[in-house]
Chain A
């Protein structure tokens, strides 16, 4: 096959590309320039936008003996991922930019271009498995390495996108991937993992949002008493379930910790309350997307609503425009804007963006 390997400059995509070369594919490496400001911060590796990362990717391609190019997707990334990120926060929702990048950039703009140029598939270093099916697109499965599993951020992909994707690391564990990189003589073998939002170089999401949206001060209100317990510089910088950074002067009457339970940028209000106020018994979503045959309405499946979290049992009803998810046990910290991914055992069924969450009783 003719394979386009997306190479971020990190160890995972490097080993993924190497494995594709070993498998006998005709591989071309591409580094995606996603940020206009290619500033290197020596000694640190944050995100996937630095000059250093571009060089690391190039050196891996050299080592593998494959052609290498840099594709400029900065404008697309800015419009589809960064602007979306800001708009979602501005509306009081909690977006996941990595998921958006997979959906709109890596497996849309890049994949479409690759197919147009005659490539058969796009390969990335994501930890997820694809299980071929004789009668249709492959199943998307959780990775063998549960700590690294990235099936959640891939759950937005359609069956069509998955049929053109390759994830060579789905069966690997991270430790072995580093070892393999070392054995292959790849200089990125010991490079630090990136965890942060790649376009927020200093990791300060609140600061980034303040710069993008400007100041919008307002009250922090206690959900139980309705009284103002503090102030903030912008409701958009808060996320449901957040506990730190509230700067509330007075402790709660009961002396217990308080959490953000609601964010309303339109009234500039952040509402806080005790943990049980976070309890969610059910939620409704926007139009679900299925990468496997949709489950029957009322099916009992597993749902995961954040990238680092367990899948929990739910009852799922859905139609084309919306889905309703009822949790078997109330959940804490479910926020509108997040994606809920549906699983049956290890298999991804599909996903949907959370529109509303409904309070439930503390278990």
Chain B
């Protein structure tokens, strides 16, 4: 059978395993609010704690580190705002927020908001042309006035261009200065080894649906000595820093997906990286002036990520043409109405032209050679038309 669609957008969301869907449905049929004191409540609580232990085990954390949230964005918001408020409350001099210029909007916009309305002094940590923050830049920014730093936030791996960050080195610098370090690891689970205790950040954000679990669930891993001020107030269900009845069914799916992602990560990474290399080679073969953005060294990027610039092309037009040909990929972010925006990641990397001419192809656990072949077949004519569109100015 010839397939009709090629899904090359696993970094946006990756299909849930059938077992994950089963686990969600099974849990959905069970009774009990984990906060209730009677037997049904205790049973629900017991299951939540079991799921918590499984998520913790999958990511090298202690069960008590795991704070379930309604997704990666909430986890990032809790990390950034919660750390800022707690640190400033403890010492009013701590107003500086150091964050990489290529953070996901969940961190980026939270940091901007802290600057605009909470009195934070925001400093964007620069990246090199591969999209990487240098530990020396973090050290230099802190050293200017260590006592004034509230937190440092640098993502584990970039969601657009796939560049891995030197998280361990940055964690060591922050630890030396006793400054809390948050890292958004939403793209990492299942793609790269992820061990919370060993890697060193104090706070790490995870998402369920990026590793094969359900949407609307995630977690913030919070080390034992980290103080956070809550963003959501209420019953304090999650370690008193996150309120709201937890979504037990979604957590059941998340636990299974995280377990599988962690267990299969070494094998998945090799297979997916090979396929990604085929994709990049193939694309450069049919579009000779295209080039890979981010880190050319496969060790420095997510195995499933291929972020490619097509000079002269209008990336939005290219996405639309590929979509019409059955190939699904991404240009970066869009506003809620669907208006595409130039990539802030590419701009921070000093690649302004690439910010409107690049596409992200991202592979995942169920990607196949047939997906790559579909792309390579559709690409040449799509590029030709997107170039014609690129010659017309819409902006």
**Is there contact, CB below 8 Å, between B395 and A33?**
no
A sample of 12 cross-chain residue pairs with beta-carbon separation below 8 angstroms, ordered by A number, consists of A33-B338, A51-B337, A54-B337, A67-B320, A67-B323, A72-B394, A72-B395, A76-B395, A116-B317, A116-B388, A117-B317, A117-B386
The yes or no answer to A73 lying at the interface (CB within 8 A) is yes
Q: Are A113 and B394 in contact (CB under 8 A)?
A: yes
* B394 / chain A contacts, CB cutoff of 8 Å: 71-73, 75-76, 109, 113
The complex places the Cα of A33 from the Cα of B395 at a distance, in Å, of 12
Report if A31 contacts B (CB, 8 A): yes
- Choose one: B338, B339, B389; the contact of A117 (CB below 8 Å): B389
Give the residue of B320, B323, B324, B339 whose beta carbon is less than 8 angstroms from that of A33. Answer: B339
Interface string of A133-153 (1 = CB under 8 A from B): 000000000000000000000
Q: Assuming the A-B contacts A116-B385, A117-B317, A117-B320, are A70 and B338 also in contact, with contact meaning beta carbons closer than 8 angstroms in the complex?
A: yes
Contact (Cβ within 8 A) B395 A116? no
A129 CB to closest chain B CB (Å) equals 29
Indicate if A126 sits at the interface (CB-CB under 8 A).
no
- Judged by a CB distance under 8 angstroms, whether A1 is at the interface is no
Q: Does B392 contact A (CB under 8 A)?
A: yes
Q: Are B395 and A75 touching (Cβ within 8 A)?
A: yes
Task: Indicate if the CB atoms of A69 and B320 lie closer than 8 Å.
Answer: yes
Can you add 15 more A-B contacts, CB < 8 Å, to A54-B338, A70-B337, A71-B316?
A38-B335, A38-B339, A67-B323, A69-B316, A70-B334, A70-B339, A72-B316, A75-B394, A75-B395, A76-B393, A112-B392, A116-B392, A117-B320, A117-B385, A117-B388
Q: Which residue of A lies closest to B340 (CB)?
A: A72
Asked if A46 is at the interface of the complex by the 8 Å CB criterion, the answer is no
The answer to whether A113 and B317 touch across the interface, beta carbons within 8 angstroms, is yes
Q: What size tier do the contact residues of chain B reach?
A: 20 to 34
Interface residues of A in 29-81 (CB under 8 A from B): 31, 33, 38, 51, 54-55, 58, 67-76
Nearest chain A residue, comparing its CB with the CB of B337: A54
Interface size class of A (residues with CB under 8 A): 20 to 34
B-chain residues with CB within 8 Å of residue A116 when the two chains form the complex: 317, 385, 388-389, 391-392
A-contacting residues, B368-395, CB 8 Å:
385-386, 388-389, 391-395
Per the bound structure, the CA–CA distance linking A161 and B344 in Å amounts to: 36
The secondary structure that dominates the A interface is mixed
Q: Does B2 contact A (CB under 8 A)?
A: no
- With A73-B394, A109-B394 as known contacts, state yes or no: A33 contacts B317, CB within 8 Å: no
Q: Is the CB of B338 within 8 A of A28?
A: no
Nearest B residue (CB) for A54? B337
Cβ of B3 within 8 Å of any chain A Cβ, yes or no, is no
Q: Is the CB of B392 within 8 A of A58?
A: no
How far is A54 from B337 in the complex, measured between Cα atoms in Å?
A: 6
What separation, in Å, do the CA atoms of A186 and B391 have in the docked complex? Answer: 36
What is the bound-complex CA distance between A54 and B338, given in angstroms? 8
Write out, one digit per residue, whether chain B residues 309-331 have a CB within 8 A of any chain A CB (1) or not (0): 00000001100110110000000
Q: Give the chain A neighbours of B336 by CB distance below 8 A.
A: 51
Residue of B324, B337, B393 most packed against chain A (CB within 10 A): B337
> Which of B336, B340, B392 has the most chain A CB atoms closer than 10 A to its own CB?
B392
Q: Smallest distance from the beta carbon of A115 to chain B beta carbons, Å?
A: 8
Does A118 belong to the interface (CB within 8 Å)? yes
- Considering the chains assembled together, what is the distance between the CA atoms of A76 and B395 in angstroms? 6
Of all chain B residues, which has the CB nearest A30?
B320
Could you tell me the distance between the alpha carbons of A58 and B339 in the complex, rounded to whole angstroms?
Answer: 12
Tell me whether B385 and A118 are in contact (CB under 8 A): yes
- Residue positions of B touching A, CB distance < 8 A: 316-317, 320-321, 323-324, 334-340, 385-386, 388-389, 391-395
Q: How far is the CB of B263 from chain A (nearest CB, A)?
A: 38
| CB proximity of B381 to chain A, nearest CB, Å | 8
Partner of A31 from B316, B335, B338, B388 at Cβ < 8 Å = B338
Q: How far is it, in angstroms, between the C-alpha of A31 and the C-alpha of B340 when the chains are bound?
A: 12
Would you list which residues of chain A between 240 and 285 have a CB under 8 Å from chain B? none
Contact in complex: B321, A69 (CB < 8 Å): no
6 A-B pairs closest in CB distance: A70-B338, A116-B388, A54-B337, A116-B389, A33-B339, A75-B395
How near does chain A come to B318, taking the closest CB pair, in angstroms? 10
Closest A residue to B318 using CB positions = A117
What are the residues of chain B within 8 A of A75 when measuring CB–CB? 394-395
User: Chain A contacts of B321 at CB under 8 A?
Assistant: 117-118
- Of the candidates B321, B336, B339, B386, the one having the most CB atoms from chain A within 10 angstroms of its own CB is B339
**In the complex, what distance in Å separates the CA atom of A118 from the CA atom of B387?**
12
Residues of chain A with a CB closer than 8 A to B320's CB:
28, 67, 69, 117
A113 in contact with B392 (CB, 8 Å): yes
A38–B385 Cα gap in the complex (Å)? 30
- In the complex, what residues of A have CB within 8 A of residue B324's CB? 28, 67
- Which of A75, A112, A117 has most chain B Cβ within 10 Å? A117
Residues of A within 8 A of B335 (CB): 38
Which residues on A sit within 8 Å (CB–CB) of B339? 33, 38, 70, 72, 74
List chain B residues, Cβ under 8 A from A31: 337-338
Residue of A nearest to B391 (CB): A116
- B70: shortest Cβ distance to chain A, in Å? 23
Within 8 Å CB of B337, what residues of A? 31, 33, 38, 51, 54-55, 70
Interface string of A1-44 (1 = CB under 8 A from B): 00000000000000000000000000010010100001000000
Which B residues touch A118, using CB under 8 A?
Answer: 321, 385
Contact A109 B338 (CB under 8 A): no
Taken together as a complex, chains A and B put the C-alpha atoms of A73 and B388 apart, in Å, by: 17
A54 to B394, CA, bound (A): 19
A92, B98: Cα distance in complex, Å: 52
The residue of chain B having its C-beta at the shortest distance from the C-beta of A74 within the complex is B339
Looking at the assembled complex, report how far the CB atom of A92 sits from the nearest CB atom of chain B, in whole angstroms: 30
Between A68, A75, A76, A113, the greatest number of chain B beta carbons within 10 A of the residue's beta carbon is seen for A113
For residue A113, which residues in chain B have a CB less than 8 angstroms away from its CB? 317, 389, 392, 394
A267 to B141, alpha carbons, bound, how many Å? 58
For A67, list chain B residues within 8 Å (CB): 320, 323-324
- When distances are taken between beta carbons in the complex, the residues of chain A under 8 Å from B340 are 70, 72
Q: Which residue of A lies closest to B389 (CB)?
A: A116
CB-based nearest B residue for A112: B392
CB distance from B162 to the nearest CB of A (A): 25
A72: B residues at CB distance < 8 A: 316, 339-340, 394-395
Q: Mark contacts of A97-112 with chain B using CB atoms, 8 A cut-off: 1 yes-contact digit, 0 otherwise.
A: 0000000000001001
Q: How far is the CB of A50 from chain B (nearest CB, A)?
A: 9
Chain A residues with CB under 8 A of B338: 31, 33, 54, 58, 68-70
